[in-house]
Amino acid sequence: MDTLPKLTPTQFLLPRAAARRTDGRVIPPAKLRGVARVKVLTALLDRGWIEPADGYHVLTDAGYAAIGQQRPVPPDGVAKCDTTDGLQLLEGIPVRPGTKLAALVVALRRPQGATSLQLMLATGWQPHSVRGAISGLLRKRLGLNVVLTHNAAGERVYRIG
């Protein structure tokens, strides 16, 4: 097995981290600034492992080979999602899937709605944060009609009406 040339820990980790990204983008750590950042990127550029691309650097085929991997090939027939300003529509509501706000909307979209406790467990938020998100983000910013009722146990039940 070939051994890697003598590298600093940062020079060793940057190509490995970039190889895990689908676009192969090299993102130096925030704490790496000034001359140290320049030296690390210059060393990788001199080896031909990275190349500049639109204001950032990407891993080259030589960079992938140096760490013992191959450039990932995008699958055939997969088209990019059409997004509106980076936000995907979640059933007609412009929130990013997988976020806490999306979990809140999904819970409120159920026919039986969701209690305050269920919303707190779904998001990990405190009660005042759940109420604030409902009134500020959902009602005022997104214009959704969120209905508040009480169940037989006297708990608040929210539902998108």
Q: Determine the average pLDDT of the residues in 68-87.
A: 57
**CA 100 distance to own-chain centroid:** 12
Is the pLDDT score of 107 beyond 60? yes
131 pLDDT more than 70: yes
Grade residue 3 by pLDDT with cuts at 50, 70 and 90. low
> Which one is predicted more confidently, 108 or 84?
108
Instruction: Identify which has the larger pLDDT, 93 or 77.
Output: 93
Gap between the Cα atoms of 148 and 161, Å rounded: 10
Query: Per-residue confidence at 9, pLDDT binned at 50, 70, 90?
Result: confident
What span, in angstroms and rounded, lies between the C-alpha atoms of 13 and 11? 6
pLDDT, position 159: 93
Task: Decide if pLDDT at 67 tops 50.
Answer: yes
pLDDT, averaged across the chain: 82
Residue 54's CB: how many other CB atoms inside 10 A? 6
Beta-carbon contacts of residue 116 (< 8 Å; ≥ 6 apart): 127, 130, 131, 155, 156, 158
* Alpha carbons 130 and 17: distance in angstroms, whole number: 36
What's the rounded Cα separation, in Å, for the pair 4 and 91? 49
pLDDT at position 87:
46
Residue with the bigger pLDDT between 73 and 43: it is 43
pLDDT at 138 over 80: yes
